[in-house]
Amino acid sequence: MLLESLRKEVLHANQEIARRGLAPHTFGNASGIDRNGRKPLVVIKPSGVDYASMTPADLVVADLEGKIVEGSLRPSSDLDTHTLLYREFPEIGGIVHTHSEFATSWAQAARPIPCLGTTHADYFHGPVPVTEPLTAEEVAEAYVRNTGAVIVKRFRREGLDPIGVPGVLVAGHAPFAWGRTPAEAVEHADVLEYIARLAWRSMLLDASESGIPAYVSEHHYQRKHGPRATYGQLKAANQKA
């Protein structure tokens, strides 16, 4: 069985999005990529399979062109979105797509999530962006692939770093999130839903869409992710006796 270790990571990621309530029924999917072989290979959830009954052997392995390399089940219907994002964002190693309630509400409203507080700033370096709606031609030509294309277009146009902004809202659809690993992608999808819920409630309380001052959000982001980050513990290799 190809990529046994990655299969286990991706299986756990899929089970986690269900356990955390981010994907009702079988709406969501998670994938991971191995870039160490002769050619990159993606492991992804099979389409429509219940999370609880899934096994590592059920997962599908495909190349970056979407060709099935190993697996007897049909891959997630979102495979072409995942492979395009892996091609365009080589820094990422895992992708999660959910239909979580509050993030999906913002996506359906086609509104970016403003950075209203430090919880948001700890994870996203700026607002959570929203894509342009797909055109009729894009839907007819290749809906799933062009879903990835409008995500990339938004990031390129705004000069956004996919590591600094680890998620997006697809207008009229739902969120995608990613990370360096499948586990990190799940964490970012979970945080995205949380800050979407906080933002919705804050807006009900009349919060300004301009959000917190930029110097506060920048401080919070950098203290967790910057070169002089103070959040968390030093890695063992960097610690001194």
Which sequence positions are flagged as catalytic? 122, 231
Strand segments, DSSP code E, in the chain are: 29-34, 41-44, 60-63, 68-70, 94-97, 167-169, 175-179
Spatial contact of 43 and 61, defined as CB atoms under 8 Å apart: yes
- Which residue, chain included where needed, has tokens 């191995």? 34
- What is the rounded distance in angstroms from the CA atom of residue 80 to the CA atom of residue 75? 10
Residues in Cβ contact with 153 at an 8 Å cutoff, skipping those fewer than 6 apart: 131, 132
- Burial group, residue 203, by CB count within 10 angstroms (0-12, 13-18, 19+): middle
Length of the chain: 241
Beta strands 175-179 and 167-169 are: antiparallel
- Which residue, chain included where needed, has tokens 């052997």? 57
Q: How many Cα atoms are found within 13 Å in the side-chain-facing hemisphere of 157?
A: 10
Angle at which helix 79-88 crosses helix 136-158, to 10 degrees, equals 30
